[in-house]
Structure 1
Amino acid sequence: MRYVAPTRETLERSVLASPPLSHWSDFAALIDGPVWPAVDALNALLPGDSDVRFVTQDPSLLSDGLHYEERIARHGAIATRPENWHDLFNAFVWLRHGALKRALNARQMTEIALMGPRQRSRAQCALTHFDEAGMVVSLQDSAMLDAWDAHDWHTLFWTHRDAWRDGRARVDVFGHALLEHALTPGKLLVGKALVVMGEGDANAVCSRAIAAGAVLNDPQELRPLPVSGVPGWHAGTMEASFYATAPCFQPLRAGRTYPAPLVGRIGA
């Protein structure tokens, strides 16, 4: 069933105070303001030397016949539908994670050159899944990765809850569709993750790996993560039973395995 986001008028403002939307509080005025921000307001937040800009998606823009990614690569034009949550969150991600977005666009263009604009490769599917529902997860404890490999959600989130609370385990929601879904109070969120073991800038590690073609060559590389299980992200995380009963915590499918994590800087 297609997700329908709340209108600006019916938005329950409490969602802005809870993760993941609370992590985007620097954009709160654009989410919670009385009117939808225009593309000019979004462009004003770009650095002066930006090679991209937000442009209103209308019939005139679409008449160029270009693929969405081609328009970005050739003209730096990010098609943005007015009064649209999905595209507003996409703009926020461009503003905060430009390197990741540019890496995804460059890879999409490589695949379009190989496949043409009307067919999609496995890599394109993986790139799109990450763009829409992606998150970057940083871990320092291999026992947490082992639990994740086994879909042992109780161990990953409950046994190791202190690691999520003190920053030894971190999750950064990147996918703009996932942020849009977070507009519904209490919604159980499941995203597609790249994981980095070690310290340092996990987003930079992922950007380099994406650009080099080392990851996102197949959707099966992405790890499903029921991110609502992160302590404090959902009211249910106060009880251990949540991890056994909530429908977002699915068992590992027979034969399913995950690739090795990316490696960040080890040590302080």
Structure 2
Amino acid sequence: MTTAAADAGGVRRRFVAPLRAEVAAATFDHPLFAQIADFRDLLTGFEWPSVSQLDQRLALDGKRLVEQTEALLADGLHYETRIALGAVATRADNWHDLFNALVWARYPALKRALNAQQCRHMEGQGGHQRNRAQAALTQFDESGVVVRVTDPALLQAWDVHDWHTLFVTLADAWRDGKIAIAAVFGHALMEQALLPERLLVGKCLVVQGDEDDQAVAVVAKAVEDGRVLCDPLELRPLPLMGVPGWWARQDAGFYADAEYFRSLREGREYPGALRGRAARG
């Protein structure tokens, strides 16, 4: 449950979140945090909520938030196995794990589906091996975003990384909800957004529809059925700060930044929008 970023030289380094006292309450006004607005007090209060307080407040159905201690880890269980048995290991006073808990509260069906698939693949792999499906599941858990479109034709610019068309020419489609961020699911994205100047990239699945929670439910059902997240290449990268209204300086120079708005890799193709039944429960 760690996050990393690449510096200018391409060296991977661990992301270090700011101290709680260093994060201004206004940070959480950003649209990236909109879906967890009901829990704003847990993010802006002077004191960290304890893990037991979080567990009581969030009251997850069939799951408990338990503090991650040496005694807990002594059970030798894998993190995902422990969740399947009902306990979500949570580090105290930790932004990453606090956001993870809030995502569990907001999108429990999708969280459960990811955990079930991780456990299924672990049984098939054995030992410490990981397959491409596990990598995809982890990437979506950490950095996932559900995007909703009313018309699949809106994906044509995204298919070829024509970012100017997607974000500028189609700006009214974003404002009118014809294409929308249905959910920021990845808790690592939320943690990194604590630094307002950070240019974030979501790993996206797309659903055709006109209702946000229904779109998330369709993704949960597809994960539950093993129809998606079988390979990381299924995930569409989206420079989130290009979304109209998500960045204060969205001028021509910003959209011309090729380091952030990257060209499509040769041979890369993305799946189309999901359509289907929602997950049970």
Shorter chain as normaliser: what TM range?
over 0.9
Aligned to 1:12: 24
Q: Cα deviations across residues 51-105 of structure 1 (Å, max 9, x unaligned)?
A: 001000000000000000000112x000000011000000000000000000000
Mapped pair 1:113 → 2:126: no
Aligned to 2:229: 216
Aligned to 1:70: 81
1:29-44 equivalences in 2 (<5 Å): 29-44=41-56
1:49-88 equivalences in 2 (<5 Å): 50-74=61-85, 76-88=86-98
For residues 104 and 73 of structure 1, what CA distance do their matches in structure 2 show?
A: 11
Normalised TM-score (structure 1):
0.93
For residues 154 and 142 of structure 2, what CA distance do their matches in structure 1 show?
A: 25
Question: Is the 8 Å Cα contact of residues 137 and 194 (structure 1) preserved in structure 2?
Answer: yes
Q: Cα deviations across residues 145-198 of structure 1 (Å, max 9, x unaligned)?
A: 000000011111111111212222111110000010000012111010000122
Aligned to 1:258: 270
SS across alignment from 2:31: coil
Aligned to 1:170: 180
Distance apart, 1:240 and its partner CA? 3.6
Question: Is the 8 Å Cα contact of residues 202 and 264 (structure 1) preserved in structure 2?
Answer: no
Question: Is the 8 Å Cα contact of residues 108 and 127 (structure 1) preserved in structure 2?
Answer: yes
Normalised TM-score (structure 2):
0.89
Q: Match for 1:207: what amino acid?
A: A
Larger mean Cα displacement after TM superposition, 207-216 or 163-172: 163-172
Distance apart, 1:14 and its partner CA? 2.6
Larger mean Cα displacement after TM superposition, 136-145 or 29-38: 136-145
The number of residue pairs the alignment matches comes to: 262
Mapped pair 1:139 → 2:152: no
For residues 17 and 39 of structure 1, what CA distance do their matches in structure 2 show?
A: 24
Q: Percent identity?
A: 55
Mapped pair 1:151 → 2:164: no
Residues 6 and 246 of structure 1: CA distance in aligned 2, closer, same or farther (over 3 Å):
farther
Q: Match for 1:51: what amino acid?
A: G
Distance apart, 1:124 and its partner CA? 0.3
For residues 26 and 117 of structure 1, what CA distance do their matches in structure 2 show?
A: 40
For residues 182 and 190 of structure 1, what CA distance do their matches in structure 2 show?
A: 11
For residues 228 and 125 of structure 2, what CA distance do their matches in structure 1 show?
A: 19
Aligned to 2:57: 45
For residues 252 and 37 of structure 2, what CA distance do their matches in structure 1 show?
A: 29
For residues 59 and 93 of structure 2, what CA distance do their matches in structure 1 show?
A: 23
Moved over 6 A (4+): none
Question: Is the 8 Å Cα contact of residues 93 and 174 (structure 1) preserved in structure 2?
Answer: yes
Q: Match for 1:215: what amino acid?
A: V
Question: Is the 8 Å Cα contact of residues 152 and 272 (structure 2) preserved in structure 1?
Answer: no
Question: Is the 8 Å Cα contact of residues 153 and 243 (structure 1) preserved in structure 2?
Answer: yes
For residues 33 and 274 of structure 2, what CA distance do their matches in structure 1 show?
A: 26
SS across alignment from 1:20: helix
Mapped pair 1:181 → 2:192: yes
Aligned to 2:254: 242
For residues 96 and 44 of structure 1, what CA distance do their matches in structure 2 show?
A: 15
For residues 128 and 47 of structure 1, what CA distance do their matches in structure 2 show?
A: 24
Larger mean Cα displacement after TM superposition, 4-13 or 248-257: 4-13
SS across alignment from 2:148: strand
The Cα RMSD (Å) is 1.5
